[in-house]
Amino acid sequence: MLQIRTPKNRKVKRELEKRAPKLVETGKKTLILHGTKTSGVLNEVLTELYHLKKESAVKYSRKNDGIKPFESGGDASLEFFSLKTDCSIILYGSHSKKRPNNLVIARTYNQHIYDMVEVGIENFKSMHSFAYDKKLSPRVGSKPFITFIGEGFENVEELKHLKEVLLDFFRGEVVENLNLSGLDRVYVCTAISPNKVFLTHCALRLKKSGSVVPRMELVEVGPSMDMVIRRHRLPTDGLRKEAMKTAKDKAKKKEKNVSKDIIQGKIGRIYIPDQKVGDMAIVDKSKGVKRERREAKMKNRDDGPASKKPKEDSEKPKEDSE
């Protein structure tokens, strides 16, 4: 026996629909959490990365026991958290003697771990330690430029993987229309050595250059850090192939009220509301123009108060008769 279960209220239904697979995906949410032990540096890294991604991130502030990425069965709770929060990028911070200041960036596909990169954080500089003109500070949720520098990103497998993960992490929402005046941040990733990446966050200053294209100027606003590659796990080929699938064509929006004619061509039908002639005469509808209330008051002063005078019961019927 099966039972059809539907949400009991609209809110839940909407939430479920939001989480359903979409033909064209808009952006990934990030879950930020840490293990049983963290360091001060790592705490700062996690909070600042959270601030960078604030519009699409969830941060867990409690210790999480039993998460051991790269070990069999060690990522079960990560998958559960991903399912619970509907996040598909997970930043997991941990700190141990063997792997100090350890940050694992994992991606999930269909609520299962897709791939993982483990990096160690070095030379971390917080965003509070940078001095710059605060007018330049990037706004929350603005679309960033992402730059990768260095041949390592092409030749070394680990760095190539890290590049893809970082791009997925930083790119934010996929947009079609972009407001050029809203560009205000850049992430600069540089491969310093085959296992080290320097990452920094800059604000963007657009300067006049005399042509259409303004001259770009980068102002470092932080955070900045070095990432030392430790372990990484690539997805299997089958999984990668499945995850890379894209919709062949975008879901077309139904065209309404448009028809085609051989002679006249495209014909559109539009709705024009009734012309309310009585309403249209008055252009200015502001309060001061309205005279009704004031006029009513004047009228009341003339004969109104007289009628409000307390009268004895015996007199009342007389007035009515008059």
Partner 1 sequence: MEIENQHPFQIDLGHLMAFNPHHQFPSLPSSREDLVSECLQKGTELVQSIANDLFNLPSTEDRDGPLVRLPPPTTRLPREKPLPKPKPPTKWELFAQKKGIKNRKKDKRVYDEQTHTWKRRHGYDRANDEDNIPIIEAKMTDESGEDPFAARRADKKKRVEKQEKNRLQNLKQAAKVGALPSHIQLAATALPITGTQAAPKKITKDELGNVAGMAATSTASGGKFDKKFAGEKPAKHQGKYRKFLPVVEGTGIGSREREQTEKVLSRLISKNSHEILNVNKAVNMYNVKKEKKQRNQGKSSSMSSKLKPNKKLQKKPLKKGSSKQGKAK
Question: How near is the Cβ of 134 to partner 1 at its closest, in Å?
Answer: 19
Q: Quick one: tokens of 80?
A: 């559960």
Q: How far is the CB of 130 from partner 1 (least distance, A)?
A: 11
CA–CA dist 279, 267 (Å, integer):
31
Query: Minimal CA–CA distance to 75: which of 100, 43, 111?
Result: 111
- C-beta of 298: minimal distance to partner 1 in Å? 39
Can you tell me which residue has the tokens 């042509």?
211
Among 88, 94, 101, 102, binds partner 1 (CB under 8 A): 88
Instruction: Provide the minimum distance between the beta carbon of 183 and partner 1 in the complex, in angstroms, as a whole number.
Output: 8
CB of 176 to partner 1, least distance (A): 6
Q: Is 7 in the site for partner 1 (CB under 8 A)?
A: yes
The correct pick among 67, 186, 228, 229 for binding partner 1 (CB under 8 A) is 186
Contacts of 197 (CB under 8 A, 6+ apart): 119, 152, 159, 162, 189, 190, 191, 226, 227, 229
Task: Say if strands 145-149 and 185-193 run parallel, antiparallel, or are unpaired.
Answer: parallel
Confirm or reject binding of residue 81 to partner 1 (CB under 8 A).
Answer: no
Strands 265-268 and 258-261, sheet pairing:
antiparallel
Pick out residues in 272-291 that bind partner 1 (CB under 8 A).
Answer: none
How far apart are the C-alpha atoms of 156 and 221, rounded to whole Å?
A: 29
Q: Applying CB under 8 A, does 8 fall inside the site for partner 1?
A: no
Binding segment (CB under 8 A) for partner 1, from list 47-55, 167-175, 274-282, 286-294: 167-175
Q: Between residues 96 and 155, which has the closer beta carbon with respect to partner 1?
A: 155
| Alpha-carbon span 185 to 201, nearest angstrom | 7
Closest distance to partner 1 from the beta carbon of 160 (Å):
10
CA torsion sign for 174, 56, 90, 167 is: positive
For residue 190, the minimal CB distance to partner 1 (Å) is 4
Contact (Cβ atoms closer than 8 angstroms) between residue 189 and residue 166:
yes
- Considering only residues 198 to 217 of the shown chain, the ones binding partner 1 according to CB under 8 A are 198, 200, 202, 204, 212-217
**Helix intervals (H) in 86-156:** 152-155
Tokens standing for residue 150: 């260095």
* Residue 104 Cβ vs partner 1, minimum distance, rounded to whole Å: 17
Which of 38-46, 48-56, 131-139, 144-152 is the region at the interface with partner 1 (rule: CB under 8 A)? 144-152
Pick the binder of partner 1 from 25, 55, 157, 295 (CB under 8 A). Answer: 25
Q: Is the peptide bond before 223 cis (omega within 30 degrees of 0)?
A: yes
Give how many residues touch partner 1 by CB under 8 A. 79
58 vs 243 by CB, closer to partner 1 = 243
Could you say whether residue 296 binds partner 1 (CB under 8 A)?
no
Contacts to partner 1 from residues 225-264, by CB under 8 A: 235, 240, 242-247
The count of other CB atoms within 10 Å of the CB of residue 156 is 18
Q: Using CB under 8 A, pick the residue from 58, 83, 146, 234 that binds partner 1.
A: 146
The three-state (H, E, C) secondary structure of 25-40, written as one string: CCCCCEEEEECCCCCH
Here's the x/- map for partner 1, 111-140, by CB under 8 A: it reads as x--x--------x-----------------
Tokens (6 digits) for 28: 């990934």
Q: By CB under 8 A, which span of 31-39, 58-66, 189-197, 280-288 interacts with partner 1?
A: 189-197
Q: Which residues pair with 104 in a beta bridge?
A: 92, 118
Nearest to partner 1 of 21, 265 (CB atom): 21
